[in-house]
Amino acid sequence: MAKVKTTFFCQNCGTQFSKWQGQCTACKEWNTIVEELVQKPEKSDWKTPTTASKRAAVPLLVSEIDTSKEPRLNTFDGELNRVLGGGIVPGSLTLLGGEPGIGKSTLLLQVSLGLPYKTLYVSGEESQKQIKMRAERVNPNNSNCYILTETKTQNIFKQIEALEPDIVIIDSIQTLHSDYIESSSGSISQIKECTTELIKFAKETATPVLLIGHITKDGNIAGPKILEHMVDTVLQFEGDRNHVFRILRAHKNRFGSTNELGIYEMQGSGLREVSNPSEILISKKDEELSGNAIAATLEGMRPLMIEVQALVSTAVYGTPQRSATGFNAKRLNMLLAVLEKRAGFRLGAKDVFLNITGGITVDDPAIDLAVVASILSSNEDVSIPKDYCFAAEVGLSGEIRPVQRVEQRILEAEKLGFATIFVSKYNKISLQNTAIKIQLISKMEDLVDFLV
C-alpha cells in the first residue's frame, strides 16, 4: 500500500506547511491551518490517446504559429462573448465565481441550453430533476445538453469518454473529489488535484471547460489562490441579490481584455442580457436629489461606479458632528478643511454625514472629488445631474490631482451611460471620440463653478 502522506494547508490562502502552526505566516489569519491527507497519484486519470502523447512540442517562430484553426466557440450570449473576448477558446478553462444565489448555475445552464453543440453539464449540487425544472423555465426546447449529477472526477471522465461532449460545465469545483486525494471535497488539496485533472483533459482534447467556483466571505474565490493561476479566465458574477441586475466581469483573461463587463437582469425565466446599461441607472432613481455624487473608482483591477451621499446640516449642539461610513473619517475632515480654506464654504458649524452606498469601503483616492461634490451639493441644496461622475484626488491646496488608470474609469463611465466625467487637467488622456464628455478641472473653484 502506498504510504499515506499528510500536509498542512491554510484554508484561507492555500499556503502549504510541513507542520501545524496557529497563525498562517502568509496571510496572517489565525486557526486556518488544517491537516489534509494527500496521496500522490500513481497514474493520472485522464488518459492521453497514445498518438497524442507521442507528439512532443517543438519551438516555432511566432510568425509560423497558425491560429486560424482555433476559432472561438460562440456562446450565443452577447454579454458573455464580450467578457470572454469574443467567445470560448477551445481547450480553455474558465472559472466563474460569485456569491451564493447570485445566478452562477442559472447563467451557465442557460448558456449550455442555448448552445448548438453537444454540452455536458455536470452538477454536484443539484439533482437531475431539479436542473430539469430550472431548464424548463430558462429554455424548454433544447436537445443537445446532457445533465450528469456526479462528484467523482474519475466517473466524470468515464462519462466524458463515452459521450465526447464539445463543451463541459462543472457546477461546482468545490464539490468535486478525486480518488487520489483522501481529504474531503472543497479542501485545498482536492480543489488543486481536480483542477489539474480537468486542465489536463481540456488541453489534451481541446474541449473547453467552464467551472463554477464558490467564494469566501471576503469575496475571493474559495480554495487556493493557485486555482486562479491555473485557469485561463476568471469571471466574477456580482450584484446585489435584492436588485435584479447582475454584472459579469473578467478578473483575469488570457485571451482578451479585462476591461469588458456584461450586464444581466434576473427575470422569472432566467437571465436576460441588458444591452443598454444606462437602464440600470435610470431604474435606480427617478429624481435628482442634492448630496448625491457618483465616483468612478477602481477596486483592485476593476472599475466600479460608486454613489456617495452627503448630508450637511446646521449643528444643533456645540461641537459639530462628522461621521463617515465607508470612507476614512480623517480624510473627510481634511477635505472639509480644504473646502473651507480654498473655496470659502463655512462648514465649521455644520454637521456632516457621509455615506458610501452599497456598504462598500473605498480606499481609492479618486473618490475625493465625488465626496467634495456631494458635500457641496448638500450644503448648497443643489442637485448634481445624475449623469455626471467624478474621478480625481483633491490635494491640500485645493488642487485637483490626477489618478491612475483614468482612461479605464472613463471607459467604464461611458459604458454605464454617463454623460460627463470630471477628471484632473493633469491626467494624460489619449482617448478620442468618446461619447462621454471629459471635463478637465484643475482647482476646487472650477468644480464650484460647475455645480453651484
User: Residue 417, annotated ligand binder?
Assistant: no
3-state secondary structure of 159: helix
Cβ 75 to ligand TYD shortest distance, Å: 17
Element (H, E) at 202: helix 188-205
Cβ 135 to ligand TYD shortest distance, Å: 9
- CB-based burial label for 231 (10 Å; 0-12, 13-18, 19+): buried
Cβ 193 to Mg ion shortest distance, Å: 22
Per CB under 6 A, does 269 bind ligand TYD?
Answer: yes
User: Residue 97, annotated ligand binder?
Assistant: no
Cβ 125 to Mg ion shortest distance, Å: 5
Per CB under 6 A, does 98 bind ligand TYD?
Answer: yes
3-state secondary structure of 8: strand
Cβ 94 to ligand TYD shortest distance, Å: 15
Residue 98 binds: one of ligand TYD, Mg ion, none (C-beta under 5 to 8 A by kind): ligand TYD
User: Residue 118, annotated ligand binder?
Assistant: no
- Which residues in the 147-166 window bind Mg ion by CB under 5 A? none
Beta bridge partners of 145: 119
Whose grid coordinates read 471576503? 218
**Cell numbers standing for residue 321:** 458632528
Per CB under 6 A, does 322 bind ligand TYD?
Answer: no
**Cell numbers standing for residue 175:** 464539490
Cβ atoms of 445 and 452 within 8 Å: the answer is no
Query: What span, in angstroms and rounded, lies between the C-alpha atoms of 390 and 384?
Result: 11
Query: What span, in angstroms and rounded, lies between the C-alpha atoms of 173 and 125?
Result: 10
Select from 22, 59, 100, 300 the one that contacts ligand TYD (CB under 6 A): 100
Query: Is the Cβ of residue 165 or residue 213 nearer to ligand TYD in the bound state?
Result: 213
Segments of 127-208 assigned E as strands: 145-149, 167-171
Per CB under 6 A, does 208 bind ligand TYD?
Answer: no
Beta bridge partners of 423: 391, 440
Cβ atoms of 175 and 124 within 8 Å: the answer is yes
Q: List Cβ neighbours of 177 (8 Å cut-off, separation of 6 or more).
A: 151, 152, 153, 184, 185, 190, 194
User: Residue 104, annotated ligand binder?
Assistant: yes
Whose grid coordinates read 451611460? 417
Select from 105, 153, 175, 207 the one that contacts ligand TYD (CB under 6 A): 105
Per CB under 5 A, does 105 bind Mg ion?
Answer: yes
Residue 87 binds: one of ligand TYD, Mg ion, none (C-beta under 5 to 8 A by kind): none
Part of the chain binding Mg ion (CB under 5 A), chosen from 105-113, 177-185, 271-279, 427-435: 105-113
Per CB under 6 A, does 103 bind ligand TYD?
Answer: yes
Distances (CA, A) of 344 to 245, 251, 450: 41, 43, 16
Per CB under 6 A, does 140 bind ligand TYD?
Answer: no
The closest alpha carbon to 254, from 385, 92, 380, 38, belongs to 92
Cβ 364 to ligand TYD shortest distance, Å: 28
**What is the distance of C-alpha 129 from the center of its chain?**
30
Per CB under 6 A, does 268 bind ligand TYD?
Answer: yes
Part of the chain binding Mg ion (CB under 5 A), chosen from 97-105, 136-144, 213-221, 222-230: 97-105
Buried b (16+ CB within 10 A) or exposed e, 112-138: bbbbeeebbbbbbebeeeebeebbeeb
The closest alpha carbon to 291, from 398, 383, 387, belongs to 383
Query: What span, in angstroms and rounded, lies between the C-alpha atoms of 263 and 273?
Result: 6
Per CB under 6 A, does 102 bind ligand TYD?
Answer: yes
Select from 49, 101, 300, 318 the one that contacts ligand TYD (CB under 6 A): 101
Per CB under 6 A, does 104 bind ligand TYD?
Answer: yes
Cβ 138 to ligand TYD shortest distance, Å: 6
The footprint of Mg ion on this chain (CB under 5 A) covers a number of residues equal to 1
- Which residues in the 400-419 window bind ligand TYD by CB under 6 A? none
Query: Is the Cβ of residue 265 or residue 446 nearer to ligand TYD in the bound state?
Result: 265
* Contacting positions for ligand TYD (CB under 6 A): 98, 100-106, 134, 137-138, 266, 268-270
* Contacting positions for Mg ion (CB under 5 A): 105
Positions at the binding site for ATP = 98-105
Positions at the binding site = 98-105
